[in-house]
Amino acid sequence: MSRQQGHKRTRLSRKGLALVATLALGAGAVAVVAQQASAGITSNDGAGRAGNGAQVVTATIDCPDVGDRLTAVPDQARAAVDRNLADLDTQLADAYRDLATGRASEQALLGRLEQQRDGSIDRVADAIGDFTRRPGELQRMSSCSISRTPADPADAAAPANGAAATPDNAGASTGDAAAQQQGTSERRSRGGPSRRDFVPITAVRPNVRRPALQSGASNGSLTVFCGRNENGHFNPDNVIVAPGVSNGAHHMHDYVGNLATDAFSSNDTLAAAGTTCSNGDKSTYYWPVLRLRDGRAERDVNAPGGGQDANVGTIQRPRQVTLQFKGSPVSRVTAMPRFLRIITGDAKAFTNGPGNANASWSCTGFEDRQLKDKYPICPTGSDVVRTFSFQSCWDGRNIDSANHRTHVAFADRGGRCGNGFTAIPQLVQRIVYRVPPGSRIAVDSFPEQLHKPVTDHGDFINVMSNRLMDFAVRCINSGRACR
């Protein structure tokens, strides 16, 4: 897949939709049988069995996350570094597609990928080295591996939530044979997250613990109303991580707030844009879309970030989106700088590990029970809830950092910021969905991340006016609940 670069973007048509009949990857998991040599994957641990005893395994490609290792990038080198980091993501997405379709043997695929990564990483190191010490240690991050886990046999026969099976074309027009075909293909390929990725919320014990308020706490709030993306603002870009690169996220994002946000946004264009927020807040709020794995064709079914990146199914519009800025349990908060960028969670947590994961999944009526690495199965009448509690400590200097993490931090369990960090208003995004009973859901992800719930994440760019930010700080520090 070639990367589009430039300011022109092809608009997705709402008509003339075509189905992805060739991949039918569902949630992006590659389900293969050990004896299928065409896929280039065999069992190395003896678990695979040919014939009637053949074991199905789920495979992905695991590569070191170069961007997460960068702690300092000179401003003059940022554009080149970002561009080459985005190339690493595209190379991995292409390799995963080849793994899924059996276009190359495992050895050939990994060898080609290492060669491509070696060149991109070398260019990252050179760009940094033009202005400071060249980080030679990055070169050790070129090689990748194939990771396998046994697939749940029940995935082939039933929806992930354990409810009665729904028709493959649930919700589609009567006689939509193409949708039926896709749904059947997805089921046969173990499409969608594994049943192991779901758990009844009623089986989870209450696990939410909040620090006790101390003297000097700031317990007010500002709630911002920005709608539910009624205007249909979607794109697969990530202006924070991959500025200037179309499809830098390889999954579709849902936006509220700033109307102009895409890969090519600058601080100036964001400041000049309109907003969906009722109080004039021009900040950018975005997160991966949630889809039903219902076998239906969305308008992005053949597009980058959609079907081309194994993100298929019906995009769900949130029933409710709440954006609230809260205070600190131990101190007053200070104003965020304008254009501060914060990412919470890790879009690559499935392969990176859960160290930076920060998604919270729950159900209405049960929000004292939060899940980090499972999708919730909600009781009848209860809705699915995604919550993102952003970092609330700032280093006092930078609006971003090389790995987009080290300029902000989470408070400790007592609610205190670490040395060198100061408390700022904490953004809490709460997104509610009405999910039909018996449905399989999946959050959009990078293809190789297999749509695991642990990869969920949220992004924020503060574009509030100084006046509005000062108002938020006064509300929070004085204990008022402002709207």
pLDDT for 214-272, tens place per residue? 999 999 999 999 999 999 999 999 999 999 999 999 999 999 999 999 999 999 999 99
Cα dihedral 69, 75, 77, 79, rounded to 10, equals: 90
- Reference 411, options 419, 399, 400; nearest CA is 419
Residue 283 lies in a domain: yes
CA distance 267 to 287: 20
Q: Positive or negative CA dihedral for 109, 244, 401, 276?
A: negative
H/E stretch holding 122 reads helix 106-129
Domain shared by 265 and 387, yes or no: yes
Domain shared by 240 and 342, yes or no: yes
The residues, ordered by sequence, that sit 6+ positions from 78 with a Cβ below 8 Å of its Cβ are none
Q: Which domain holds residue 124?
A: 30-150
The single-letter DSSP state of residue 251 is S
HSE-CB for 167 with a 13 A CA cutoff: 13
**How many CB atoms within 10 Å of residue 412?**
12
CA distance 290 to 68: 25
Among 150, 176, 208, which residue terminates a domain? Answer: 150
**How many CB atoms within 10 Å of residue 167?**
13
CA distance 395 to 234: 32
CA distance 330 to 456: 29
Domain shared by 123 and 228, yes or no: no
Q: How many residues does the chain have?
A: 483
- Reference 312, options 4, 19, 72, 86; nearest CA is 19
Domain shared by 259 and 363, yes or no: yes
CA distance 431 to 384: 8
- Reference 385, options 361, 418, 414; nearest CA is 361
Residue 190 lies in a domain: no
Residue 292 lies in a domain: yes
- Output the pLDDT for position 296: 93
Domain shared by 226 and 103, yes or no: no
Among 150, 175, 207, which residue terminates a domain? Answer: 150
Domain shared by 230 and 144, yes or no: no
Residue 268 lies in a domain: yes
- Output the pLDDT for position 148: 86
Low-confidence residues in the chain, pLDDT < 70: 1-57, 151, 153-192
Domain shared by 106 and 220, yes or no: no
- Output the pLDDT for position 188: 31
Domain shared by 253 and 383, yes or no: yes
The reported pTM is 0.85
Domain shared by 232 and 355, yes or no: yes
The residues, ordered by sequence, that sit 6+ positions from 140 with a Cβ below 8 Å of its Cβ are none
CA distance 312 to 294: 9
CA distance 169 to 182: 8
Q: What angle do CA 255, 272, 408 make, to 5 degrees?
A: 60
Which ranges of 214-317 would DSSP assign to H, the alpha helix? 267-272
CA distance 181 to 300: 18
Residue 77 lies in a domain: yes
Among residues of the chain, what percentage have pLDDT more than 70? 80
Cα dihedral 109, 148, 450, 194, rounded to 10, equals: 150
Residue 12 lies in a domain: no
How far the first Cα of the chain sits from its last, in Å, is 45
Domain shared by 282 and 394, yes or no: yes
Residue 19 lies in a domain: no
The domain tally of the chain equals 2
Task: Report how far apart, in Å, the C-alpha atoms of 330 and of each of 55, 213, 271, 449 are.
Answer: 54, 6, 33, 37
- Do the beta carbons of residue 142 and residue 124 sit within 8 Å? no
Domain shared by 317 and 465, yes or no: yes
- Do the beta carbons of residue 442 and residue 455 sit within 8 Å? no
Domain shared by 140 and 207, yes or no: no
Q: Which residue has the tokens 């964001």?
A: 270
- Output the pLDDT for position 39: 26
**How many CB atoms within 10 Å of residue 132?**
12
SS3 112: helix
Residue 93 lies in a domain: yes
